[in-house]
Amino acid sequence: MGILAGIMVPHPPMIVPAVGRGGEKQIEETTAAYERAAQFIADFKPDTVILSSPHSVMYGDYFHISPGTGAEGSFARFGAPQVSASVAYDTEFVSVLCDAAKNAVIPAGTLGERDASLDHGTMVPLYFLLQKYTDFKLVRIGLSGLSMSYHYKLGMEIARVSKALDRRAVYIASGDLSHKLQDYGPYGFAKEGPVYDERIMDVMGRAAFDELFDFDETFLDKAAECGHRSFVMMAGAFDRTALEVEKLSHQDVTGVGYGVCTYKVKTDADGEAVMDEDRAFLDKWEEKERDRRRKARDVEDGYVRLARLSLENYIITGEPITWETSGERILAGEVSEEAREALKKELTERQAGVFVSIHKEGRLRGCIGTIGPVTSMVANEIIVNAISASTRDPRFDPITRDELLSLEINVDVLSEPEPISSETELDVKRYGVIVTKGSRRGLLLPNLDGVDTIDEQLRIAKRKAGLDEEEQGVKLQRFEVVRHV
């Protein structure tokens, strides 16, 4: 057997009449689609239901798989404690999945449970399914802050375990769409919200799962989506598998998007899943990423080449480079003698603060720098800070050798900070900001994705200084940067 089918469903508690108290009538189209999706799953008579929920236990760098023999939950926090559910977990499946994830170098397991009760991202799908079918065990998985590819890979392992254990398995990807679709909604409006809903329903309605990787992380944050990574994990469970897909509904009446789709694995005359190598979406995405990164490296300037050489050499050998031993390699990348001389002068005859920022698959992987110069020249500032950003940023584990080909690097060279008397002298695109109070100081670079207002810039800088976001009486400085990519 293995994964037989899956559904994409939302989880608004108000869809449960005891919670909605009449408000559920606003989303009757979603309710009708949910009923069809639940019956669709029930018709497969699954042994095991795998459910990914954005509201289960979630960590930035780890997938939590619910431990134990089972769990209970209710809608008590939504005013309906009488609506409850109790499910048994597929303990064998969980055990084998944890081992499979470990072998695949995916950080996942049953550690770190903070609340054993079923979350509403699980309860809403179960509310509908249990009315149709009850003879199954559950595997409940939380999302993480890890990249899309990790979510897809965990989905692939889920499919392998389902087949290895000969389970009749189905997948429920629980997740709302954008939370910022209407001014009157609980989260307000963002222009990215409707764009996300239109795109995601198009992608999921065609089962074009390769396009799930094309959603920029900053765009996803601004759209305030909920279930994207849940959908990606389900997509991984269908890797290389031919599907029949049906888009049942999409509603936007509460300011939050609700989408319902069903996916059935195509089978041959013997009942075996029909495989389709054109749907090896992770392989295709990784090849596209490798090609993109190769092209990007070809046009990196000397500042970034130096940062990359510094961190790569340190991670591989444990030894730092020096300008004296490596400078000629950096200068050799320039197209003319004149350009080489200009770059050498910039790197060796100037002092300045430098920040090195490292990203992987669209997410920050490390960033450390100096507000003012602490070495004899910009080149050494880059060498030292590249090592620190890749191995000593306390927010992240040190970068490993296996990650080196996946990294994108920026180098920001700072102007000398100047004091300002008011936040009106700031511009988030042009100026970075330094906030100081007593011995506490926080810095934020300019022109960062997702930081669009001065208020946001100051709040983040204050947090980095260890200050309350509303802290008054702080000293402000601004600076400009030259960003090298």
Confidence of residue 223 (pLDDT cuts 50, 70, 90): very high
Per-residue model confidence (pLDDT) at position 296: 87
Domain that holds residue 476: 415-485
In this structure, is residue 229 part of a structural domain? yes
Please indicate, yes or no, whether residues 283 and 423 belong to a single structural domain of this protein.
no
In this structure, is residue 479 part of a structural domain? yes
- Order across the sheet with 363-369: list the strands: 363-369, 354-360, 407-414, 481-484
Per-residue model confidence (pLDDT) at position 20: 96
- DSSP assignment of 325-365, as one string? HHHHHHHTTSSSHHHHHHHHHHHHS----EEEEEEETTEEE
Summarize pLDDT for 26-37 with one digit per residue, the tens.
Answer: 999 999 999 999
Please indicate, yes or no, whether residues 68 and 205 belong to a single structural domain of this protein.
yes
pLDDT higher than threshold 90 for residue 363: no
Any bridge partners for residue 9, and if so which?
Answer: 174
In this structure, is residue 328 part of a structural domain? no
First-last CA distance in the chain: 49
Average pLDDT estimate for 449-463? 92
Mean pLDDT of the chain: 96
We report the CATH number of the domain holding residue 36 as: 3.40.830.10
The tally of domains found in the chain comes to 2
Please indicate, yes or no, whether residues 426 and 283 belong to a single structural domain of this protein.
no
Average pLDDT estimate for 195-212? 98
For residues 376 and 355, what is the distance between their CA atoms, to the nearest angstrom? 16
Report the predicted TM-score, pTM, of the whole model to 2 decimal places. Answer: 0.82
Per-residue model confidence (pLDDT) at position 270: 86
Summarize pLDDT for 463-477 with one digit per residue, the tens.
Answer: 999 999 999 999 999
SS3 labels along 147-186: CHHHHHHHHHHHHHHHHHCCCEEEEEEECCCECCECCCCC
In this structure, is residue 347 part of a structural domain? no
Please indicate, yes or no, whether residues 419 and 286 belong to a single structural domain of this protein.
no
Q: Are 45 and 171 in contact (CB under 8 A)?
A: no
From 229, 264, 290, give the residue that closes a domain.
Answer: 290
In this structure, is residue 443 part of a structural domain? yes
For residues 321 and 162, what is the distance between their CA atoms, to the nearest angstrom? 48
In this structure, is residue 476 part of a structural domain? yes
For residues 17 and 19, what is the distance between their CA atoms, to the nearest angstrom? 5
Summarize pLDDT for 274-333 with one digit per residue, the tens.
Answer: 999 999 999 999 999 889 888 988 899 999 999 999 999 999 999 999 999 999 999 999
In this structure, is residue 337 part of a structural domain? no
pLDDT higher than threshold 90 for residue 182: yes
From 258, 290, 322, give the residue that closes a domain.
Answer: 290
- DSSP assignment of 120-156, as one string? HHHHHHHHHHTTT----EEEEEE-BSS-HHHHHHHHH
Please indicate, yes or no, whether residues 121 and 263 belong to a single structural domain of this protein.
yes
In this structure, is residue 203 part of a structural domain? yes
The angle at the Cα of 254, spanning 252 to 258, to the nearest 5 degrees, equals: 45
153: CB partners within 8 A, 6+ apart: 104, 106, 236, 282
From 290, 322, 350, give the residue that closes a domain.
Answer: 290
We report the CATH number of the domain holding residue 443 as: 3.30.1490.150
Summarize pLDDT for 72-121 with one digit per residue, the tens.
Answer: 999 999 999 999 999 999 999 999 999 999 999 999 999 999 899 999 99
